[in-house]
Amino acid sequence: MNTTHRKKYLITVIGPTAIGKTAMAIHIANYFNTSIISADSRQFFKEMAIGTAVPGKEELEAAKHHFIQNISIFDDYSVGDFEREAIDLLDNLYTEQDFVVMAGGSGLYVDAVLKGFDEFPDIELSIREDLIAEYESKGITYLQNKLQELDPTHYERVAKDNPQRMMRALEVCIGTGKPYSSFLNQKKNERNFTPIVIGLEADREIMYNRINMRVDIMVNNGLIEEAEALYKHKDLNALQTVGYRELFSYFDGELTKEEAIEEIKKNTRRFAKRQMTWFRRNEAAKWFDYQTPPSTIINYIKDTI
């Protein structure tokens, strides 16, 4: 059947970690008889299950998920790769159906699919190598000061405790002689779908309590053992993330086990705050309390179509 004349929709569920995005996405996907694209960059990796809160067996069976544990921590995989693969998948899915659901807390990856990925010029590898050496010898403060000097606009937006993001911006600044931010918000690729963006939120205290509980559950489910198995690969980019970094510090003798767990909770709360700052910029998002019945949100989607 030729469905090219019919409008296609990408229903996207956003919000901070531990807010219930997966459960809501499953309800919506089941209603529209469709599948879910995961836009959580940490859940791509086969070796990282507990610390990234990968959907459980029952959740994965309740609705078909794409981009869950589909690559290895040893793979070179970028947001640009994800954008291309996700768009190709959507093109295929839309030949059979009019609705697809996307869910995830990685704002950059969500935006890459919804709006298109910014085009950056190729940068000489030696520039990144020099930045890594500077970071290792002078620390994160050096990167922060350098980025503030070369691109104060992006400095205000970037996660300042994430050396990878800062080095990426700096290599573009240095390699092109132009601010990283000047390459953002260029003309994006056109999309063949209409986005409907659903945001889930909660009062900060509730959100933080949910995060604390989730970390305790992860620890009980074997997070420390999972991190221990990955410890020998701790320098890989994929493992420079909350939930693993802190435990690597515990294994290195820099923190006690209790301190590492508290650091995971604290850093996850900070991460959730940054997620909300990012997602709040999406003016198209319709926000709902995390306890809103799925039927209410599905009715909103039907009214929007």
Q: Which residues are annotated as a binding site?
A: 15-22
User: Who contacts 207 (Cβ-Cβ below 8 Å, separation ≥6)?
Assistant: 16, 18, 19, 201, 272
CB-based burial label for 186 (10 Å; 0-12, 13-18, 19+)? exposed
Torsion of CA 253, 73, 130, 139, to 10 degrees: -30
Tell me, rounded to whole angstroms, the distance of Cα 189 from its chain centroid: 21
Q: Is 95 helix (H, G, I), strand (E, B) or coil?
A: coil
**Alpha carbon distance 177, 51 (integer Å):** 38
User: Who contacts 215 (Cβ-Cβ below 8 Å, separation ≥6)?
Assistant: 243, 261, 264, 265, 268
User: How far from 109 is each of 10, 33, 149, 250, 279, CA to CA, in Å?
Assistant: 14, 24, 27, 30, 12
Q: Which two tokens stand for residue 22?
A: 């997966």
Helices (H) and strands (E) in the chain, counts: 13, 6
Q: Minimal CA–CA distance to 194: which of 1, 2, 12?
A: 12
Q: Residues marked as binding for substrate?
A: 17-22
Q: Residues marked as binding for ATP?
A: 15-22
